[in-house]
C-alpha cells in the first residue's frame, strides 16, 4: 500500500450551472469533461472540469443548485483551492480575469511562491500559484488558452481548522503525507507525488466559527489511490484508526469511500480508474448528459427536471 499521491478531485456547491460552466470552461480553460447528475440527488447536475481527459489531480467538480444561498466560509472545510500556473503567466491571468469582470486582489507570497487569489461566480476562493514545479497534465488543445499560459492542474488546497494537530495526524499517520513547512498558523503537508495536487495547507483558526455549507462551499476533497485493492487497504486502516468510513460507492468514473476527519472536513479516497472515457470518447467528453445504467431508464424524467445547460462557448443544449 503506497502513500497517497495527492488530490484526486475536489467537489463544491454552486448555484447557476450555466454560470459555473462558462466560468470554469471558458474563463479558466478547464475542459468540461463530464456532464452527469449527482448520483445521490438525480435532480441536480454533477459537472466535472479538468485537463483534456480529466486526469486525477486536475478535477474540480460541482453540484449546482439553482438559486442556492451562498455558504459562509469557516472552520471545518476546504476554504481555498489552488491551481498551478507558470510564473511567466501571472500578468496574463491578472489581465484575463479583470477582462471577465473578476476582482483580483494583490498577489501574496507563500512558502516562496506567488499566489493570485480571486473568487468564482459563487464566491469560492481560488488561487493561481506560480511555480516551476513539475505538473504533468494532458493539455486540452481545443480550449481558449495557449498551453504556456494554461492552468496546470491543482497545486493544492487550504483547510481551515480549529486545531491542526488532529488533522495533521490523519494526514501523516494514515495517508502518508509529510510535513513540509510551517509559517505562523499555516502548515504545509505534501503527498507522495512530485507532480500535480500535492500540497495540503492546514490553516489553524482557533475559536473561529465553523463554515455553513451553501453555494461556493467545498463539499469534500478526494485523495488518490491506484485501484480497488489499495482503496480497501485504506478503508481498513482508517477504520482501525477510529474513522467512520463508508462502504465503497460506485461513482462510475472512480470508486469512493468517505470519512470525516477530526476537524469536520469530509475526506474521500477515490480510485484513479476507470476514468472519464469509461462511457464516451475523449473527443466528445462532457458534450452530452451521461447517466449511469441504473438511472438510464428514468432519463426522460431526469432531463425534464434539470435546468437548460448549453455547452460553453456554443449554442448546443446538452442532453
Ligand atoms: Zn468526490
How far from 89 is each of 42, 53, 110, 138, 170, CA to CA, in Å?
39, 23, 18, 19, 35
In this predicted model, what pLDDT tens digit does every residue of 213-257 receive, in sequence order?
Answer: 999 999 999 999 999 999 999 999 999 999 999 999 999 999 999
Domain that holds residue 60: 7-304
CA of 156 to the centre of ligand 1 (A): 15
CA of 14 to the centre of ligand 1 (A): 15
For residue 163, give the CATH number of its domain. Answer: 3.10.180.10
pLDDT band at residue 105 using 50, 70 and 90 as cut-offs: confident
Helices marked H in the chain: 17-21, 90-99, 164-169, 228-240, 299-305
Q: Is residue 100 part of a domain?
A: yes
CA of 11 to the centre of ligand 1 (A): 6
CA of 189 to the centre of ligand 1 (A): 21
Contacts of 265 (CB under 8 A, 6+ apart): 76, 77, 78, 159, 161, 167, 220, 221
Spatial contact of 82 and 154, defined as CB atoms under 8 Å apart: yes
Q: Nearest-CA neighbor of 275 among 289, 285, 287?
A: 285
In this predicted model, what pLDDT tens digit does every residue of 142-185 receive, in sequence order?
Answer: 988 999 999 999 999 999 999 999 999 999 999 999 999 999 99
CA of 106 to the centre of ligand 1 (A): 31
* Angle formed at CA 115 by CA 174 and CA 61, multiple of 5 degrees: 55
pLDDT band at residue 62 using 50, 70 and 90 as cut-offs: very high
Q: Is residue 318 part of a domain?
A: no
Q: Is residue 72 part of a domain?
A: yes
CA of 268 to the centre of ligand 1 (A): 6
Q: Is residue 199 part of a domain?
A: yes
pLDDT band at residue 194 using 50, 70 and 90 as cut-offs: confident
What is the spatial distance between Cα 176 and Cα 186, in angstroms, rounded to a whole number?
19
pTM beyond 0.75: the answer is yes
State the pLDDT at residue 59: 98
Q: Is residue 315 part of a domain?
A: no
Q: Is residue 235 part of a domain?
A: yes
CA of 270 to the centre of ligand 1 (A): 7
State the pLDDT at residue 286: 98
- Number of domains comprising the chain: 1
Burial class of residue 176 (count of CB atoms within 10 Å of its CB; 0-12, 13-18, 19+): middle
Q: Pairing relation of β-strands 178-183 and 186-190?
A: antiparallel
Q: Is residue 316 part of a domain?
A: no
Q: Is residue 81 part of a domain?
A: yes
In this predicted model, what pLDDT tens digit does every residue of 113-132 receive, in sequence order?
Answer: 999 999 999 999 999 999 99
Amino acid at each position: 500500500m503506497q502513500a497517497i499521491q495527492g488530490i484526486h478531485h475536489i467537489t463544491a456547491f454552486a448555484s447557476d450551472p450555466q454560470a459555473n460552466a462558462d466560468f470554469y470552461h471558458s474563463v479558466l480553460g478547464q475542459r468540461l469533461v463530464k456532464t452527469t447528475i449527482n448520483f445521490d440527488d438525480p435532480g441536480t447536475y454533477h459537472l466535472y472540469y479538468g485537463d483534456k481527459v480529466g486526469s486525477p489531480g486536475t478535477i474540480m467538480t460541482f453540484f449546482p443548485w439553482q438559486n442556492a444561498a451562498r455558504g459562509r466560509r469557516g472552520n471545518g472545510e476546504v476554504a481555498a483551492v489552488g491551481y498551478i500556473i507558470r510564473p511567466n503567466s501571472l500578468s496574463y491571468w491578472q489581465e484575463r480575469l479583470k477582462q471577465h469582470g473578476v476582482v483580483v486582489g494583490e498577489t501574496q507570497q507563500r512558502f516562496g511562491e506567488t499566489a493570485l487569489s480571486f473568487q468564482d461566480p459563487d464566491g469560492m476562493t481560488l488561487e493561481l500559484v506560480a511555480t516551476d514545479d513539475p505538473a504533468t497534465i494532458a493539455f486540452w488543445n481545443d480550449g481558449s488558452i495557449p498551453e504556456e499560459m494554461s492552468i496546470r492542474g491543482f497545486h493544492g488546497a487550504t483547510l481551515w481548522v480549529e486545531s491542526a494537530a488532529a488533522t495533521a495526524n490523519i494526514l501523516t499517520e494514515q495517508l502518508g503525507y509529510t510535513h513540509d513547512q510551517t509559517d505562523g498558523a499555516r502548515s504545509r503537508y505534501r503527498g507522495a507525488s512530485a507532480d500535480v495536487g500535492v500540497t495540503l495547507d492546514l490553516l489553524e483558526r482557533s475559536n473561529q466559527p465553523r463554515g455553513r455549507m451553501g453555494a461556493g462551499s467545498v463539499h469534500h476533497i478526494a485523495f488518490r489511490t491506484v485501484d480497488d485493492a489499495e482503496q480497501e487497504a485504506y478503508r481498513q486502516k482508517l477504520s482501525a484508526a477510529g474513522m467512520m468510513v463508508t462502504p465503497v460507492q460506485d461513482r462510475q468514473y472512480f470508486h469512493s469511500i468517505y470519512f470525516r476527519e477530526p476537524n469536520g472536513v469530509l475526506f474521500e479516497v477515490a480510485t484513479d480508474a476507470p476514468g472519464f472515457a469509461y462511457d464516451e470518447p475523449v473527443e466528445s467528453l462532457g458534450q452530452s448528459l451521461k447517466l449511469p445504467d441504473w438511472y438510464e431508464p428514468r432519463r426522460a424524467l431526469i432531463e425534464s427536471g434539470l435546468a437548460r445547460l448549453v455547452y460553453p462557448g456554443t449554442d448546443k443544449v446538452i442532453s
